[in-house]
Amino acid sequence: MNKKAAIIEFGTSHSECLYTFYLFFKESGYDVTLILNENLKDSADVFRDKCSVQFYSFEGKRNTIKSYAAIRNLITHENFSDVLFLSAGGVALRNFLMMPLPRKLRTSGILHNTDKLTRSITDKFIFRRIRRFFVLADFMLEYLPAQYMKKTQSIYTVYYPKLPSQHKSIQKNENEFFIGIPGTVEFTRRDYNGLIKELEGKLINSNVKFILLGPGNNRDSNLREILTRIRSIGLENKFLHFENYLSDKDFSANLSLCDALLPLIHPDKDSYSKFIKYKISGTYNLSIGYKIPMLCHTSLDKIDDFRSTSLFYEHGKLCELINKLSSDKTYFEDIKSLLFLNEKYEFEYQRKRFLRFIENTQD
């Protein structure tokens, strides 16, 4: 069988998974073509000279229909054996799948949020048209609707390209201890208020800095409010932030400076149950991919994926944990050496599982 794979992303939200699936296909002997939203040109720069990359516009109904038709024709004429959709949900994919595709084409897609899979006509339609699904952590399988179980496997998209290190926009002294908080700076995405409460009135080691690794100038950003609250407790010198969008190179370079990461998932928040059942925090994949430990609330230690990647704090004791780790580098490195040892995080382990699953012709 001709081994040609297309990876398709109609939107812009999940490009961080792109490199992993490119590697899975490429290292398994497939010719790979990326079919992407034109707004992902920056993220796709790393694929220059590696594979074919084609960009399409989805701005407006006319452009979208034109792009759908062109992509469908490309799939047919290039005789792809496999198509993987980075986002296996939403109206955009539903509308595309209304067009006939080659009968022998193996289709798969990523389920990023499994909370509402059985409630919408859109998801029910996509379920019938996609042959295989992936979720991004083992624990998500436990809460998957029964009808999805046979068609779904967990996968870890934790492999990232090696990007130039000269793009660091912050400097770090040898004795400093950086704690990164990746992602858009929004109250709805992580518990920044919980962090401020944990730090308020506490004495933090002088070598500790918190890095807000997300843009502060997007429409929904709460950076201004967060900085105001940080100043109100006298810790503005402890936080570094970015006003503008970080390119992938800048983000990777600054992330690599971090000693630990904070997902800020706390049990007293409404979003807590979603992050232990139906979706993952992007911080989780970054932690595994860059081998940077997470600092997590102790309620998460019941989940294997967090136990093998994280150090834990009880309510009100985050500062105590940070001070302990940042004051003794040898102790921190010894603790860190016990993490990320699970075989399932190894590239070959995941690649082989991925390949067996998509190439299995028995449903």
Q: What is the mean pLDDT for each group of 10 consecutive residues in the chain (363 residues)?
A: 92 90 97 96 90 96 96 96 95 96 96 87 92 96 93 96 71 94 88 94 96 79 90 94 83 93 94 93 95 97 95 96 96 96 96 95 52
The answer to whether residue 217 is domain-embedded is: yes
**293 with 311: CB under 8 angstroms?**
yes
For residue 184, what pLDDT is reported?
Answer: 85
The answer to whether residue 126 is domain-embedded is: yes
* Same domain? 180 vs 146: no
What is the rounded CA–CA span in Å between residue 285 and residue 270?
Answer: 22
What is the rounded CA–CA span in Å between residue 116 and residue 142?
Answer: 15
* Same domain? 108 vs 8: yes
For residue 185, what pLDDT is reported?
Answer: 87
The answer to whether residue 37 is domain-embedded is: yes
DSSP state of 202: -
* Same domain? 153 vs 178: no
* Same domain? 146 vs 230: no
The answer to whether residue 340 is domain-embedded is: no
* Same domain? 121 vs 247: no
The answer to whether residue 197 is domain-embedded is: yes
* Same domain? 315 vs 299: yes
The answer to whether residue 235 is domain-embedded is: yes
* Same domain? 134 vs 282: no
Per DSSP, helices labelled H in 160-208 are 192-199
For residue 170, what pLDDT is reported?
Answer: 83
What is the rounded CA–CA span in Å between residue 141 and residue 49?
Answer: 37
The alpha carbons of the chain give a radius of gyration, in whole angstroms, of: 21
CA 236 centroid distance within chain: 28
**The residue to which tokens 């230690």 are assigned:** 301
Torsion of CA 68, 72, 73, 77, to 10 degrees: 160
C-alpha distances out from residue 349 to 119, 139, 222, 226, 284, Å: 34, 18, 40, 41, 19
Find the CATH number of the domain harbouring 188: 3.40.50.2000
* Same domain? 198 vs 306: yes
For residue 243, what pLDDT is reported?
Answer: 80
* Same domain? 127 vs 171: no
The answer to whether residue 335 is domain-embedded is: no
The answer to whether residue 333 is domain-embedded is: no
- The total number of structural domains in the chain stands at 2
For residue 361, what pLDDT is reported?
Answer: 55
What does residue 164 show for φ and ψ, rounded to 5 degrees?
Answer: -55, 135
* Same domain? 98 vs 174: no
Domain interval for residue 135: 4-157+345-359
* Same domain? 100 vs 234: no
For residue 247, what pLDDT is reported?
Answer: 82
What is the rounded CA–CA span in Å between residue 192 and residue 241?
Answer: 14
What is the rounded CA–CA span in Å between residue 275 and residue 273?
Answer: 5
**140 with 274: CB under 8 angstroms?**
no
* Same domain? 139 vs 212: no
Q: Which of 169, 241, 243 is nearest to 211 (CA)?
A: 241
For residue 166, what pLDDT is reported?
Answer: 58
